[in-house]
Amino acid sequence: MTAEHPATAAVALPETQAPSDAYVPSARRLERERIRRARTRRATTVATVSTVVTGTVLVLAVLASPGWPRTRETFFSAHYAREALPKVLDGLLLNLRLLVICGAAVLALGLLLAIARTLRGPVFFPLRALATAYTDFFRGLPLVICLLLVVFGVPALRLQGVTTDPVLLGGTALVLTYSAYVSEVFRAGIESVHPSQWAAARSLGLTHRQALRHVVLPQAVRRVVPPLLNDLVSLQKDTGLVSIAGAVDAVYAAQILAGKSFNYTPYVVAGIVFVALTIPLTRFADWTTARMDRRRTQGGIA
Amino acid sequence: MSTTDAPQAVLRLESVRKTFGTSVVLRDVDLEVAPHTVTALIGSSGSGKSTLLRCANLLEEIDDGAVFLDGEEITDPRVDPDTVRRRIGVVFQAYNLFPHMTVLENITLAPRRVHGVPRDEAEDRARELLERLGLGDRAGAYPDRLSGGQQQRVAIARALAVRPRLLLLDEITAALDPELVGEVLGLVRELKEEGMTMVLATHEMGFARDVADQVCFLDGGVVLERGTPAEVFGAPRQERTRRFLSRLVEAGRL
Ligand SMILES: Nc1ncnc2c1ncn2[C@@H]1O[C@H](COP(=O)(O)OP(=O)(O)OP(=O)(O)O)[C@@H](O)[C@H]1O
Ligand SMILES: [Mg+2]
């Protein structure tokens, strides 16, 4: 309640503008806080106890099962795990490179496609139609078929100056398919922004482009962060499919080892590594969304 | 309620304090709202009228003090806020209608989902309310297709549909033309005659004067002055109230 409203500024008491007024919490407030604390403690205790009990029961059930010794040997062998880990991590480097480069390309292309589909007016009809056809086609085409066609079909054309590198071609196929998915996510986000936001932006004199850039897209992107992340995680796992073309990624590395030793531990190692990679990504996205929300609600409400 | 000499207040605020970060919006607010009366909250923009209403409905957690509904302390952390809110109807300053539902669905949502009223009954009641608010033909429309004043009245109908014990109205005449203001005024009066208890925040002093039993001037985080409209508007005791009112007179709003 500062000088934004001239009326307030004249009337408000200066000493009420900061909580430095001589305020002492009442007994009522202290009691209330005590009850809240007690309730939190109780809830935490219940959660801890039930987690420990459930965990113990699960572990005991697995360890007591008749096949456990054999299973442990075939899937959880420390020896094979130690042997597999460096090779799997080596392969993972390729997955990570593909994820970063394809991820960036997918987001950019997806956003462009989505924007192309929101353009209005007959001038943009060809662009709109093209974007629609593209998404319809690549969203429907199974990823494996897309990969096979690109990886084996493009080199077969023997075009001058076009690469035959399996990793590049595989990456291209991933981008083709995933940008179609992601463009639909972006489009849903853009359309979910209330029309009154467009009206308010345009009425301030912003062009379509400015309204999109400054008002609509920021709101749309914030809303679609969770589904986008979902697609990125999915992309991360599908980077393994480039092994079809012969590139050695983490999954293929594990497969080679498992084939040699008839022990499945390398698969488990590769699986754990992938999971370990996704968790920080998810937490990061949660953190950014929460931060954006906090910043918004701090600004005050109507 | 029992019929004692001094009927128990429907809503009572006791030394309520509410801060947002470092700004103290409500410093020490006391307020008492008797049954079947209308209380008008006035005060400059940003003085905390909306915040007070949100605290009364437990949409904001207060820092200190207490809020009582029918004598029961509702700010006790052991009280379930949902059951409290079921007894209170609110019309927000920005309407907050659900854009993905028709007018009828907006109104029948709470009766059907929260109070378990059968669909037919809820819809009958909704249509009756709409009829009364002059929106009988808009039941199937979506909020975006309505004018501001129509949305305002739908929001009122939505709040009334659950037959609340207490109605909190935030700036409900802000989007209305003078004719509709008169209509809403009539509606508030009718509701009062039917026994409704209401608290309304308003910048419309004429409205406050005509309909309120009690006027509270909110300033500097406290209720600086309270009394009947005649007392507050006719003979304000506080210097700051006088200044606020004289500025309104200058602006031709009183
Ligand atoms: N969620 C919030 N976070 C931070 N500050 C807030 C929040 N909500 C309200 N405020 C602040 O509290 C003060 C009182 O706001 P409030 O909306 O209650 O005023 P008001 O009296 O209803 O004003 P108006 O007459 O303009 O509706 C303002 O200074 C506002 O900035
Ligand atoms: Mg307000």
The model's pLDDT over A157-194, given as tens digits with 9 standing for 90+, comes to: 877 777 778 889 999 999 999 999 999 999 999 999 88
Report the nearest-CA residue for atom 25 of ligand 1.
B45
**Alpha carbons A80 and A263: distance in angstroms, whole number:** 8
Instruction: Give the tokens for residue B183.
Output: 């209509």
Buried b (16+ CB within 10 A) or exposed e, A260-282: eeebbbbbbbbeebbeebeeeee
Catalogue the long-range contacts made by A192-200 (C-beta closer than 8 Å, 24 or more residues apart): A192/A220, A192/A223, A193/A219, A193/A220, A193/A223, A194/B99, A195/B144, A196/B144
Q: B25 by DSSP, 3-state: which? A: strand
Check whether residue A119 and residue A172 sit in a common domain.
yes
Q: How large is the average pLDDT for residues A28-32?
A: 92
Ligand 1 atom with the smallest distance to the CA of A5 is 26
H or E stretch at B169: strand B166-170
Check whether residue B19 and residue B123 sit in a common domain.
no
Q: What are phi and psi of B183, to 5 degrees?
A: -65, -45
The response to whether residue A300 sits with its C-beta less than 6 Å from ligand 1 reads yes
Full DSSP string of B88-127? EEEE-TT----TTS-HHHHHHHHHHHTS---HHHHHHHHH
Check whether residue B160 and residue B171 sit in a common domain.
no
Domain tally for chain B?
2
Of A25-34, A54-63, B105-114, B173-182, where does mean pLDDT reach its minimum?
A: B173-182
pLDDT the model gives residue B185: 81
Check whether residue A84 and residue A176 sit in a common domain.
yes
Beta carbons of B124 and B107 less than 8 angstroms apart: no
- Cβ–Cβ of B23/A19 closer than 8 Å? yes
Considering the entire predicted model, what is its pTM? 0.72
Residue A297 — pLDDT band, cuts 50, 70, 90?
low
CA of B241 to the centre of ligand 1 (A): 20
Check whether residue B35 and residue B158 sit in a common domain.
no
pLDDT the model gives residue A298: 52
Check whether residue B73 and residue B95 sit in a common domain.
no
pLDDT the model gives residue B178: 79
Does B84 have pLDDT greater than 50?
A: yes
Beta carbons of A281 and A287 less than 8 angstroms apart: no
State the residue range of the domain holding A41: 27-64
**Alpha carbons B163 and B128: distance in angstroms, whole number:** 13
Check whether residue B68 and residue B125 sit in a common domain.
no
The response to whether residue B48 sits with its C-beta less than 6 Å from ligand 1 reads yes
Ligand nearest to the CA of B19: 1
Check whether residue B177 and residue B254 sit in a common domain.
yes
Q: Which of B164, B179, B211 is the last residue of a domain?
A: B164
The response to whether residue B25 sits with its C-beta less than 6 Å from ligand 1 reads yes
Q: B214 by DSSP, 3-state: which? A: strand
Q: What is the DSSP letter of A124?
A: G
Degrees to nearest 5, angle at CA B114 with B108 and B115: 85
Check whether residue A59 and residue A142 sit in a common domain.
no
Percent of chain A's residues with pLDDT above 70: 90
Does A61 have pLDDT greater than 80?
A: yes
**Alpha carbons A73 and A297: distance in angstroms, whole number:** 54
State the residue range of the domain holding B57: 1-79+167-254
Q: What is the DSSP letter of B144?
A: G
- Cβ–Cβ of A12/B219 closer than 8 Å? yes
Give pLDDT tens digits for A264-287: 888 999 999 988 888 887 788 788
Smallest CA–CA separation between B173 and chain A, in Å? Answer: 15
CB count, 10 Å around CB of A68? 13
Check whether residue B40 and residue B100 sit in a common domain.
no
Residue A19 — pLDDT band, cuts 50, 70, 90?
low
Residue appearing with tokens 């039993």: B213
| B243 backbone φψ class: left, alpha, beta (φ>0; ψ -120 to 50) | alpha
Q: Is A4 part of a structural domain of the chain?
A: no
pLDDT the model gives residue A223: 86
- Cβ–Cβ of A7/B45 closer than 8 Å? yes
| A266 backbone φψ class: left, alpha, beta (φ>0; ψ -120 to 50) | alpha
Q: How large is the average pLDDT for residues A90-99?
A: 91
Does A8 have pLDDT greater than 60?
A: no
Give pLDDT tens digits for B197-211: 999 999 888 888 888
Q: Contacts of residue B243 in chain A, CB cutoff 8 Å?
A: 10-11
Check whether residue A31 and residue A105 sit in a common domain.
no
Q: Is A31 part of a structural domain of the chain?
A: yes
Does A15 have pLDDT greater than 60?
A: no
Check whether residue B175 and residue B95 sit in a common domain.
no
Residue A244 — pLDDT band, cuts 50, 70, 90?
confident
Check whether residue A83 and residue A211 sit in a common domain.
yes
Domain tally for chain A?
2
Does B3 have pLDDT greater than 60?
A: no
pLDDT the model gives residue B230: 93
Check whether residue B180 and residue B213 sit in a common domain.
yes
Check whether residue A177 and residue A249 sit in a common domain.
yes
pLDDT the model gives residue A295: 66
Q: What is the DSSP letter of A3?
A: T
Check whether residue B18 and residue B73 sit in a common domain.
yes
Report the nearest-CA residue for atom 22 of ligand 1.
B50
Report the nearest-CA residue for atom 9 of ligand 1.
A300
The response to whether residue A292 sits with its C-beta less than 6 Å from ligand 1 reads no
Q: Is A12 part of a structural domain of the chain?
A: no
Q: Is A21 part of a structural domain of the chain?
A: no
pLDDT the model gives residue B5: 53
**Alpha carbons A227 and A182: distance in angstroms, whole number:** 9
Tell me the ipTM for this assembly.
0.73
